[in-house]
Amino acid sequence: MLLLDWYRRARRALPWRGETDPYRIWLSEVMLQQTTVAAVGQRYHRFLARFPDLAALAAAPWEEVAAEWAGLGYYARARHLHAAARAMVAAGGFPRDAAGLCALPGIGPYTAAAVAAIAFGEPVVPVDANVERVMARLFGIDRPLPGARRLLAALAQGFMDQPAARAAAGDFAQALFDLGAGLCTPRAPDCAPCPWHDFCIARRSGRAAELPLRQEKRPRSRLFGIHFLLRDAAGRIGVRQRPPAGLFGGMWELPGTPWRAAPWAEAEALAHAPVSAAPWQPAAGEVVHLLTHRELRLRLMVAEAPALPPGLSPLPAAAALPSLMRRLLALAEGEAGSVRSGKRRH
Q: Which residues are the active-site residues?
A: 29
241 binds DNA (CB under 7 A): no
Find the part of the chain contacting DNA (CB under 7 A) among 161-169, 267-275, 301-309, 337-345: 337-345
Residues 127-166: x where in contact with DNA by CB under 7 A, - otherwise, as a string: -xxx-xx------------xx-------------------
Closer of 106 and 285 to DNA (Cβ) = 106
CA angle (101 as vertex; 42, 67 as ends), nearest 5: 35
Angstrom distance (rounded) from CA 128 to CA 132: 6
Among 10, 87, 100, 105, binds DNA (CB under 7 A): 105
Which of the ranges 200-208, 278-286, 290-298, 308-316 carries the binding residues for DNA, by CB under 7 A?
A: 290-298
Strand partners, 230: 303
Between residues 93 and 146, which has the closer beta carbon with respect to DNA? 146
The answer to the question of residue 309 lying near DNA (CB under 7 A) is no
**DSSP state, 219?**
P
Window 42 to 71, contacts with DNA (CB under 7 A): 71
Asked whether the beta carbons of 159 and 165 are under 8 A apart, the reply is yes
Which of 61, 258, 343, 345 touches DNA (CB under 7 A)? 343
> Which amino acid, residue 135?
M
Long-range contacts of 153-162 (CB under 8 A, 24+ apart): 153/125, 153/127, 156/125, 156/127, 156/131, 157/124, 157/125, 159/3, 159/125, 160/123, 160/124, 160/125, 161/123, 162/1
CB of 156 to DNA, least distance (A): 13
Rounded Cα distance between 121 and 328, Å, is 46
Least distance (Å) between residue 316 CB and DNA: 16
13 binds DNA (CB under 7 A): no
Classify residue 243 as exposed, middle or buried by CB count within 10 Å of its CB (0-12, 13-18, 19+): exposed
Of 193, 294, 318, 334, the one binding DNA (CB under 7 A) is 294
By the rule CB under 7 A, 180 interacts with DNA? yes
Binder among 108, 121, 263, 282 for DNA (CB under 7 A)? 108
Determine which residue in the list 56, 167, 290, 319 makes contact with DNA, applying CB under 7 A: 290
Considering only 191-199, 229-237, 272-280, 283-291, which stretch makes contact with DNA by CB under 7 A?
283-291
For 157-177, b/e burial (b = at least 16 CB within 10 A) is: bebbeeeebeebbbbbbbbbb
Q: How far is CA 243 from CA 79, 92, 240, 246, 253, in A?
A: 12, 30, 10, 7, 10
Chosen residue from 6, 26, 75, 264 binding DNA by CB under 7 A: 75
Please select the residue that binds DNA; options are 20, 34, 205, 281, rule is CB under 7 A.
34
- Side chain identity at residue 190, one-letter code: D
- Compute the C-alpha angle 281/283/288, nearest 5°: 140
**Residues in CB range of 36: below 8 A, 6 or more apart:** none
* Contacts with DNA, residue ranges (CB under 7 A): 14, 16-17, 28-29, 32-39, 41, 71-76, 80, 105-112, 114, 128-130, 132-133, 146-147, 174, 177-178, 180-181, 185-188, 214-215, 217-218, 246-249, 289-294, 322-324, 340-343
